[in-house]
Amino acid sequence: MQFRLNPRVILALVLVTTVLGMSLGAVSAQERVPTITVHSVTQAERPIEYETTRLVVENMRELGLDVEHRALSLLQFFDETWFSREEGKGRVEKPFQMTAWRMVGRPERSEPDEFTYNLFHSSVRDGGYNFIGYYNPEYDALAETQRALTDPAERREIICEAQQVIRNDMVNAYFLHPQTPQLVNTDVFNAASVVIQAGIGIQNFWNWINIEPIGEERLIITATTSNLNVLNPLEIAGDSPSRVTEIVWDRLMRTNPDGLPEPWAAESVVWEDSTHVVLTLREGMTWHDGLPVTSADAAYSFEAALAGTTQVDAEGNEFFRAEATDYYPFVSGITDIEIIDDLTIRLSLAAPNGAFETSTLSKLNLIPKHIWEPIITELLADDGADVDSIQEEIPIGSGPFKFVAYDVNEFALLEAHTDHWSAPKADGWLMNVLPNLEAMIGQIQSGEMNLLWEWPSDPAVLSDIAEANDHLSLFTETSIGFQYFAFNLRYAPFDNLAFRQAIAHVIPQQFIIDNLYNGFAAPADSFVSTALGYWRECDEPLRTYEFTIEGARALLESAGYSWDDEGRLLYPAN
């Protein structure tokens, strides 16, 4: 029998092949990963960060991604990243996807709680610093637990675990801790007396009081590029004013050069239980105007930071308007302040807080009640200006240096408070405002300036100067701060772990350190700097993400990603 092609059979065949073809086509036509925008600040404002981003964007393209590098001036950058974290709620229509970011090192950040909690806890996703939208109940529990523990060793275990979770989840792609080069004139100071604070450098409290003049010049002379706009003990101003406030006003505790809290103006800090602490002041301390420092002053320092009024915003929501906006968050957990005797106070906390000694007791400035009570009472009555907008003509503290004079855009001049129980070795301290970096280099070489701590430019310049001048010694310390790429975890493609890990693999960490930073940086793998030895002594090392483009491609492939004919990356089938 001859086989004949019946028209019906042909129709059936056509239909079957079409349907089969279409369904197969639907499987193979997977969706391309859409264009990704990576934000950074402009080249003019942060050249190294810009170049780093450019490099990483290039490498991301190697993965078959279409990537746009969007460089913006700082404030606009914040508008499109920090303020545009969620769809429909941002300043711009599209939420950010991936952005270069940095955290700067500050003394109080040697306590890991700040980063552990505020960078990743789900409660601060909407308006706080968890702008990447990390949400992991297991992590939340760790962040809360470490906060409640007061035993450092126990806390460290939890903090190690938290670092593991963040590293394994590739929440942020950390790549380096910058190293700040700094110079000291060793014709003026005994080099052995210089104190370096872990993760910070020479601009620390301990150095200011310990550095020892050996010749006729008895004054520490340094400089800063930005104005000293606020010298107020109730405001956490910028980096430069903080240099002044931390030595003019004393604190109950201080973070020591290793980054751990130790009693300072309080001779003893005794925890009765996890929510009650008794603080006893040293005897014989005086304010710079001669009056004694008493427990009433200490208690008032907390009360002032807690002061405020309830107000209503434009949309009719009630909110608490704190007088000391910056300090309020650090004292808000205090429920009761009790004066026990002339030198002793007792604080009650709403909940246990493992970071209390560093974040509150080592941070809050002791202020004289006789000066601030009248000011704050008046401010509360007329609810106009806030207390942090007050500038005393001659600020009065009880710290090792006292005020002589200052001019916001010229200088701050302090002299040793010789009655202090730990008086500085130098006779005084002077910080000039020098916006011109060339002038700064000139002055440190000529001897007009004898200590350089702030250098917002190429580190190699300073190391060359140190080599060319016998009287200058270079100090380099790895920062607590770090550089990283942050991902918006709320949306695809960054909601996928394998994808983020692949991106981490294409960051040429060592190349960036060697070439863009001229070696003045240390590799980073966590939000806790390697400079903070104590909190990095973990049982297990953190996972590494070596630089490998092939590795990244293999990782994507095993997670189901594939590439189309043009080499563009496609999402996994499901």
Partner 1 sequence: MNRGIAYYIIGRFLQSVLVLWIIVTLLFLLFRLAPGDPIANYIDVNFTREQELNLRARFGLDKPLHEQYVVYLVNLAKLDLGETFSYAGRSVLDILAEDLPNTIYLTMSSLLLAYSVGVLGGIAMAALRGSLIERVGTTFTLMTRAAPQFWVGMLLLTLFAFQWRLLPSSGIGPALVRYRWETEWDKLLSPVFWRHMILPTFTLAIYLHGLPLLLMRSNMLEVLDQDFIVMGRLTGYSESRLMIQHAARNALLPVLTALTLGIGYSIGGNVVIENVFSWPGLGRTLVEAVQESDYPLAQGAFFFIAFIIVFLNFIADILYSLLDPRVGASAQARLS
Instruction: Please report how close the Cβ of residue 288 comes to partner 1 at its closest, in angstroms.
Output: 16
442 counts as binding partner 1 under rule CB under 8 A: yes
Taking CB under 8 A as the binding criterion, the range among 14-22, 297-305, 441-449, 457-465 that sits at the site for partner 1 is: 441-449
Is-contact 102 481, C-beta < 8 A?
Answer: yes
Instruction: Please report how close the Cβ of residue 65 comes to partner 1 at its closest, in angstroms.
Output: 27
Instruction: Please report how close the Cβ of residue 433 comes to partner 1 at its closest, in angstroms.
Output: 7
361 counts as binding partner 1 under rule CB under 8 A: no
How many CA atoms are closer than 13 Å to the CA of 7, on its beta-carbon side?
0
Pick from 20, 29, 320, 511: which binds partner 1 (CB under 8 A)?
320
Is-contact 366 302, C-beta < 8 A?
Answer: no
Instruction: Please report how close the Cβ of residue 447 comes to partner 1 at its closest, in angstroms.
Output: 10
469 counts as binding partner 1 under rule CB under 8 A: no
73 counts as binding partner 1 under rule CB under 8 A: yes
Taking the least distance from each CB to partner 1, the nearer of 109 and 420 is 109
Give the footprint of partner 1 on residues 328-357 (CB under 8 A): 329-330
C-alpha to C-alpha distance for 224 and 455, rounded to whole angstroms: 9
Taking the least distance from each CB to partner 1, the nearer of 388 and 508 is 388
90 DSSP 8-state letter: S
Instruction: Please report how close the Cβ of residue 569 comes to partner 1 at its closest, in angstroms.
Output: 32
C-alpha to C-alpha distance for 355 and 148, rounded to whole angstroms: 8
Pick from 120, 401, 411, 545: which binds partner 1 (CB under 8 A)?
411
230 counts as binding partner 1 under rule CB under 8 A: yes
Do you know the residue count of the chain? 574
Q: Hey, which residues does 292 pair with through a beta bridge?
A: 286
Q: Which residues contact 330 (CB under 8 A, 6 or more apart)?
A: 305, 359, 360, 363, 364
Pairing of strands 172-185, 482-487: antiparallel
163 counts as binding partner 1 under rule CB under 8 A: no
Cβ-based neighbour number of residue 215 at 10 Å: 10
Return the structure tokens found at 426: 């130098």
413 counts as binding partner 1 under rule CB under 8 A: yes
Instruction: Please report how close the Cβ of residue 357 comes to partner 1 at its closest, in angstroms.
Output: 17
Pick from 10, 12, 89, 91: which binds partner 1 (CB under 8 A)?
91
Output the furthest CA–CA distance in the chain (Å, rounded): 123
Would you give the binding string for partner 1 spanning residues 294-313, x where CB under 8 A is met? Answer: -----------------x-x
User: What totals of helices (H) and strands (E) does the chain contain, helices first?
Assistant: 18, 22
C-alpha to C-alpha distance for 304 and 345, rounded to whole angstroms: 15
Pick from 28, 35, 409, 548: which binds partner 1 (CB under 8 A)?
409
36 counts as binding partner 1 under rule CB under 8 A: no
Instruction: Please report how close the Cβ of residue 200 comes to partner 1 at its closest, in angstroms.
Output: 16
83 counts as binding partner 1 under rule CB under 8 A: yes
Taking the least distance from each CB to partner 1, the nearer of 170 and 322 is 322
463 counts as binding partner 1 under rule CB under 8 A: no
Instruction: Please report how close the Cβ of residue 548 comes to partner 1 at its closest, in angstroms.
Output: 32
Is-contact 248 414, C-beta < 8 A?
Answer: yes
Return the structure tokens found at 499: 């994808």
Taking the least distance from each CB to partner 1, the nearer of 315 and 341 is 315
Taking the least distance from each CB to partner 1, the nearer of 60 and 223 is 223
C-alpha to C-alpha distance for 218 and 213, rounded to whole angstroms: 6
220 counts as binding partner 1 under rule CB under 8 A: no
Closest CA to 144 of 120, 172, 127: 120
325 counts as binding partner 1 under rule CB under 8 A: yes
Taking the least distance from each CB to partner 1, the nearer of 190 and 445 is 445
CA distances (Å), origin 403, targets 98, 398, 545, 569: 46, 10, 50, 62
Q: Quick one: angle between helices 152-168 and 137-148, nearest 10?
A: 160
3-state SS string over 527-556? CCCCCCHHHHCCCCCCCCCCCCHHHHHHHH
Taking CB under 8 A as the binding criterion, the range among 46-54, 165-173, 436-444, 507-515 that sits at the site for partner 1 is: 436-444
Closest CA to 412 of 143, 223, 246, 215: 223
Closest CA to 426 of 210, 246, 227: 210
**Is the N-terminal amide bond of 107 cis, ω within 30° of 0?**
no
76 counts as binding partner 1 under rule CB under 8 A: yes
Q: Which residues contact 539 (CB under 8 A, 6 or more apart)?
A: 160
C-alpha to C-alpha distance for 359 and 271, rounded to whole angstroms: 16
Instruction: Please report how close the Cβ of residue 328 comes to partner 1 at its closest, in angstroms.
Output: 8
388 counts as binding partner 1 under rule CB under 8 A: yes
Instruction: Please report how close the Cβ of residue 325 comes to partner 1 at its closest, in angstroms.
Output: 5
Would you give the binding string for partner 1 spanning residues 113-152, x where CB under 8 A is met? Answer: -xx--xx----x-xxxx-----------------------
Taking the least distance from each CB to partner 1, the nearer of 274 and 325 is 325
- Please count the residues of this chain forming the interface with partner 1, following the rule CB under 8 A: 68
C-alpha to C-alpha distance for 417 and 400, rounded to whole angstroms: 5
429 counts as binding partner 1 under rule CB under 8 A: no
423 counts as binding partner 1 under rule CB under 8 A: no
Report the Cα 73 to chain-centroid distance in Å.
Answer: 20
Closest CA to 232 of 93, 362, 372: 372
Binding residues (CB under 8 A) for partner 1: these are 73-76, 78-79, 82-83, 91, 103, 109, 114-115, 118-119, 124, 126-129, 219, 226-227, 229-232, 235-237, 311, 313-314, 319-322, 325-326, 329-330, 385-386, 388-391, 404-405, 407-411, 413, 430, 432-436, 438-439, 442-443, 445-446, 448
